[in-house]
Amino acid sequence: MNTTVREYSSRRMRREDGQRGQGTWQLLFIIGLVFCQLMTGNTLANAATPQILNLGNTGEPQTLDPHRYNLRLEETLLNDLFLGLTTFNSKGKIVPGAAQSWKQSKDGLTWIFYLRDDLKWSDGVPLTAEDFVYSLRRVMRPKTAASLAYFLYMIENAAAVNQGKMPAQSLGVRAITPRQLEIKLAAPYPYFLERLLYPIAFPVPKHVIDEVGDNWVKPQHWVSNGAYKLKTWQPQAFVEMTANPYFYTKVAIEKIRYHPLASEQSGYNRYRSSELDVIPNLPTSELEGIKTSSDQSVQAALRLTPLLSSMYLVFNLQDPAFQDVRVRRALSMAIDQEILTSKVMRSGDKPSYTFVPNFISDYQPAKASHANMAFGQRQAVARRLLAEAGFDKTNPLTITLRHVSGTEGKKVNLAVAGMWRSIGVITTLHQAELKAHFADLRQGKFMVAWAGWIGENNAEHYLSLLQSDIGNVNYGRYQSSIFDELMRNAQSQADPEQRNSLLSAADATAVEDYPVVPLYSLSVRRLVNPNLKGWEDNLRDMHPVRYLSWHNAP
């Protein structure tokens, strides 16, 4: 945020010389204070008249339609613009949202949500249970093309509706009254309240969409039900939001701007120059200096927290080279996750040999059988496996490895390419901007690619990415009848212990098929203006602005 400078009219003042000298000293003091605050990233504008909260975001959103989003950076924005049946509190825990309460049938198949009495859209129109019925049907309609529609496949007839086999009216949702919403599930789903946190389950304004169609997401037509509403979207500059006057509780910060960041370094520089109050990441090269800084305000700004996440490489199993499990296993064994995190990245990220994150409650992820082998031994076995598959010095395996543009991505993937070189593999790196990268992955336009999944506190959320019928988020098009059957059996269980037991069996099956190479779990390294109050670190890294305020706000 830029520091505002108050202009004073110049006028002749009759003062004694001593008074004039005192005024000069006070002026110099104020100038020095402004300079110090600029250097620490805390501005007088925030301290005295907090108006706009400037937040860095990891990139430019592709859409602000919650039913068509696909990227975490879009989810961040949508959580300020909309409110689902359930939501997060400041600590990342699940709490009531648009629904003030709910009840579940004994068999786990029927949920009734009781909506708040004071729900309104940002244009003042009342929001009712019928809006949720319309919205959930819209998600599942094939023409909506919601890539994350499968998130809600547990709802009765959802898959069939999404695949065009049944009409949208067949979806297991109905409004009992304007304040009571019933959702029927096809099978028990213990994590349903968690799944409703996602934008895919948010309501959208039927009364606006009926009038202007897909143009409803433009600022001049925008209507939403969250703490904020869209004011303007200047691509590659910022998305600006203002407080929703009809939200059921007043927010402390009236206006926010999300700025897409070209790189971590760019975000860091903009924070240091006081353009931004929060950045989502910072270069690892700056981390040690911040930790050891003698400036307490600089140290106070640093937030280092583990994140529920799985970063991995995915093989395109439609490529003939990777249809041989020996090749996939060899490439997996040749990667040293410890070296990647401790020597290459040095950012606090944790090495991982499991696809499901280790932070998941009441679950022990399956680990690849080679995880406990000495690295030299793994390399020897990897060379032998490649030779058995027909790749040697005269016929080396040649790979294109795709990753997201940026210093960190390049550094990690250069290291991976070096590790593969040690077993005779020739690797070419290909980088792309975030949106283009994941668009290519969804279309299967890659050989091997870096990918990641961030989100829920349950193993199924991650393992479902490998189900053959899940859609294009199964980037590598992995297919295993054994894995699919175990997942289907798990998904029919209401008891969490039985469900997890079957998920563990599916997990173990996939690990030995090597459709992906687990690399690490992320640690978030943010800078947050120390003047912000209400920021709570959490495993989900979710921080809705409605919980924030300035320490010295009037």
Strand partners, 56: 259
CATH classification at residue 118: 3.90.76.10
Q: What pLDDT, on a 0 to 100 scale, did the predictor assign at position 293?
A: 86
The reported pLDDT for the residue numbered 219 is 97
**Residue 492 counted as domain residue:** yes
Q: How far is CA 65 from CA 202, 224, 330, 456, in A?
A: 10, 10, 42, 21
Indicate if 376 and 490 belong to the same structural domain. Answer: yes
- Please determine, for residue 11, whether its predicted confidence score (pLDDT) is greater than 50: no
How many whole angstroms separate alpha carbon 430 and alpha carbon 417? 12
Running DSSP on this structure, what letter comes out for residue 243? Answer: E
Domain housing 432: 309-521
Judged against a pLDDT cut of 80, whether residue 368 lies above it is answered with: yes
User: What's the pLDDT band for 22 if we cut at 50, 70, 90?
Assistant: very low
Q: Which pLDDT score is estimated for 16?
A: 36
Provide the CATH number for the domain around residue 407.
Answer: 3.10.105.10
Q: Please report whether residue 228 resides in a domain.
A: no
- 53: β partners: 256
Q: How far apart are CA 377 and CA 367, in angstroms?
A: 17
- The CA distance from 550 to 528, in Å, is 12
pLDDT score of 51 more than 90: no
Flag whether 493 is in a domain. yes
Task: Look at residue 203 and tell me if it is in a domain.
Answer: yes
Domain membership flag for residue 265: no
With a cut of 60, say whether residue 303 has pLDDT above it.
yes
Give the model confidence (pLDDT) of 438-491 as tens digits.
999 999 999 999 999 987 889 999 999 999 988 899 999 999 999 999 999 998
Rounded to whole angstroms, the Cα distance separating 221 from 229 reads: 11
The predicted pLDDT at position 481 comes to 97
**Which of the four pLDDT bands, split at 50, 70 and 90, describes residue 553?**
low
Strands 302-306 and 523-528: antiparallel
276 located within any domain: no
Task: Please indicate, yes or no, whether residues 351 and 202 belong to a single structural domain of this protein.
Answer: no
Query: Do the domain assignments include residue 431?
Result: yes
Into how many domains does the chain fold? Answer: 2
CB distance 111 to 104 below 8 Å:
yes
DSSP per residue, 274-343: TS-SEES---HHHHHHHHT-S-HHHHHHEEEEE-SEEEEEEE-TTSGGGSSHHHHHHHHHT--HHHIIII
Residue 7 has pLDDT above 70, yes or no: no
Same domain assignment for residues 377 and 513: yes
CA distance 535 to 540: 13
315/455 same-domain check: yes
Question: Is 168 in the same domain as 317?
Answer: no
Regarding whether 332 and 198 lie in a shared domain, the answer is: no
Residues 442 and 334 in one domain: yes
pLDDT score, position 299? 87
Supply the mean pLDDT for the chain: 89
Asked if residue 110 belongs to a domain, the reply is yes
* 335 and 203 fall within a common domain: no
Q: Is the pLDDT reported for residue 45 higher than 90? A: no
Q: What is the mean pLDDT of residues 337-346?
A: 92
What are the C-alpha distances in Å from 515 to residues 152, 163, 383, 541? 24, 26, 19, 28
Reported as half-sphere exposure (CB side, CA atoms, 13 A), residue 226 has a value of: 30
**pLDDT for residue 492:** 87
- Write out the two tokens for 543: 């921080």
Q: Last residue of a domain, which of 159, 191, 212?
A: 212
Rg (Cα) of the chain, in Å, rounded? Answer: 26
